Structure 1
C-alpha cells in the first residue's frame, strides 16, 4: 500500500493512479486538496487488500478491510496533522472515534506535525503543550510507535530537523505481524523523507535490482554503466536492467570484493 500526503490534487483519476502504480489491479481512495493545499491519497493492490469501508476527514483518510492472504481484518489511516494546537486536538478526537467505530487492529501513518520526545527535534529543550497532547493521545490509544533506526529525523528545512512523520500501530497489529519494522527512504525533492514499513518475513518473490552507495564513490562506475547500457541496445527496460546486473556484478567483484565478508571481519 502506498500513502501520499500533500498531493495538491482536487481530483484523482485512474490515469493518475496508473502513472504512479504502473500496473492494473490497483484500488484507491483520496481526500481532495483545497486548491494547492493538502490532499491525501492511498493506493493498494486489490488482490492483497479488500476494502470494506472508507472514512474521510479533512486531515485523515481511513480504509478498513481485509489482508487476504492472512484473513486479517484491519484499518489503515493516513494522517496529515495540522499546525495549530486546537486543530490538532480535534483531529486526535476524530481518530479516536474512527478507531472505536472500526474495532479492528489499526495502523496510523503520516505526517503528524508533532514530536513525542525531545530527541525528535534538533536542539529541542522542552516539549510544547501540543506535543504533550499528542503523547497523551498515543498513550490513551495504546499505540506503539515503530522505531526508525536508520535515521534520526524525517523532516528537514534549512537547519531545522524533526521526526514528525510516524507509524503508530495497535497491539493487535503487532501480534499479527511481529516482524513489522520501519526504515527511511529517499527525500527526493521533498523536505520529508519517505517511510517504508515492511514485515520482516522471508520473501519468495524475485530479488529486486539493488545498487550500493559505494559504487557511486568509484570514478569508473558511471562509465561502465553507460557503456554496458549502450551495448544492450533496444531491448525492454526490465530485461535491460536484468542484463545489466551481470557486468555490474562482475565489476563489483573486481573492485570491491566480498563486502559482506569484509564487514563481518571488521
Structure 2
C-alpha cells in the first residue's frame, strides 16, 4: 500500500507491507525512479508488517529517525520552507493489544520531541466511529478500539485532515465489507505551514487498500467575478449608477 505526502511532486512516499526483509539503495532507486532519494526501512517481523519511508533529498533534509513495532518516525527539515517536521509511517497490528501498544509508543516519541509540525499517516487498523465500518461483525472490542483511538488522537492534539474522494479506504475483495482504517493525522502547526492540506483517497489497484495522497494546493483563479444581489435592481437609481460607473 502506498501513501504520498506532498504538493505537485511527492515529498514523501510510504509503503506498508513491503514483504521485504532487506532493501538496498539500488532497489530503492528502482522503486523511486532515480537516485535522488533517501529512505528508511523497518523490516518488521520477517518481512511481515514491514514499512518503507522514502523522500527526495532536494526537498527534505533527513536528520534522524525513530522506529519501533509498526512505525517509522522521520525527523528533518523541509528545505523550501526551512521548517523542521516529523513524518510518521504507520502500519498497525490487527489486535487491540497491538494497537494500544502502538498508540502508546508514538505518544511517547511525540511527547519527547520539541518539533511541533507532525504528520502521522498510514494503516491504523482502527476507526473513530462505528460508521467507519460496514459489513463487519462487531467483535466486542470495537467500542474499546474507538475510545482508545480517539483518546490517542485527542491527547496528542492531532487533527484529521479533510477527506476527498471515497468514504472508505479498505474493501473486502467481494465487496461485502469496507472500512476507513487508513488516515492522515496532523498537528495544528503542520496546518499553519500547509493550511490547504487534504487527504485524497485514490481508487484501489493491486491492494485491498486505497492509496492516500496528501496535497496542499493553492490555486490562483485570477480576479474574483463581479457579483450582484437581485434586490439591488429594484432600488431607484441603481441602473443609472451602474451606467455612470
| Shorter-chain TM band | 0.7 to 0.9
- In the alignment, what sits opposite 2:74? 63
Is the 2:136–2:178 contact (alpha carbons within 8 Å) kept by the matching residues of 1?
no
**Residues 118 and 125 in structure 1, CA contact (< 8 A), matched pair in contact too:** no
Whether the 8 Å CA contact 2:160–2:184 is kept in 1: the answer is: yes
* Residue 171, structure 1, aligned to residue 182, structure 2: no
1:131 paired with 2:146, answer yes
**Contact 1:61–1:78 (Cα < 8 Å) also in 2:** yes
Give how far 1:79 is off.
Answer: 0.6
Q: Are the aligned partners of 1:5 and 1:38 in contact in 2 as well (CA < 8 Å)?
A: yes
| Inter-partner Cα distance in structure 2 for 1:179 and 1:9 | 35
The answer to whether structure 1 residue 32 and structure 2 residue 43 are counterparts is yes
Alignment equivalent of 2:28, drawn from 17, 29, 33 = 17
Structure 2 CA distance for aligned equivalents of residues 2 and 92 of structure 1? 22
Structure with the bigger percentage of helix: 1
Specify every segment of 5 or more residues in structure 2 that has no aligned partner in the other structure, as ranges: 1-11, 221-245
Query: Please, what TM-score do these two structures have when normalized by structure 2?
Result: 0.79
Say whether the 8 Å CA contact 2:22–2:43 is kept in structure 1.
yes
Whether the 8 Å CA contact 1:155–1:162 is kept in 2: the answer is yes
Determine if the alignment matches structure 1 residue 41 to structure 2 residue 52: yes
Determine the structure 2 residue equivalent to 1:201.
218
Select the residue among 206, 228, 239 that pairs with 1:189: 206
State the 4+ residue runs in structure 1 displaced beyond 6 angstroms.
Answer: none
Shift of 1:200: 1.0
Give 3-state SS (helix, strand or coil) of 1:136's partner. Answer: helix
Q: 1: distance between equivalents of 2:72 and 2:133?
A: 26
- Tell me, in whole angstroms, the C-alpha distance in 1 between the residues paired with 2:190 and 2:60: 15
Q: What does residue 159 of structure 2 align with?
A: 144
Q: Which residue of 1 aligns with 2:89?
A: 78
Report SS of the residue matched to 1:128: helix
Counterpart for residue 211 of structure 1: none
Shift of 1:118: 2.2
Equivalent-residue separation in structure 1 for 2:136 and 2:205 (angstroms):
26
**Cα RMSD (Å):** 1.6
Which one scores higher on RCO, CA 8 angstroms, separation ≥ 6?
A: 2
> Aligned pair count?
203
Checking the alignment, whether the CA contact within 8 Å between 1:8 and 1:34 is kept in structure 2 is no
Looking at secondary structure, tell me which structure has more strand per residue. 2
Scaled by the length of structure 1, what TM-score is found? 0.73
**How big is each residue's C-alpha offset from its partner over 1:207-247, in whole Å with a ceiling of 9 and x where there is no partner?**
xxxxxxxxxxxxxxxxxxxxxxxxxxxxxxxxxxxxxxxxx
Distance in 2 separating the partners of 1:28 and 1:149: 28
Unpaired stretches in structure 1, ≥5 consecutive residues:
204-266
1:46-96 Cα deviation digits (max 9, x unpaired): 111001111010210010000001011110000111111122111111101
Post-superposition offset of 1:101:
2.0
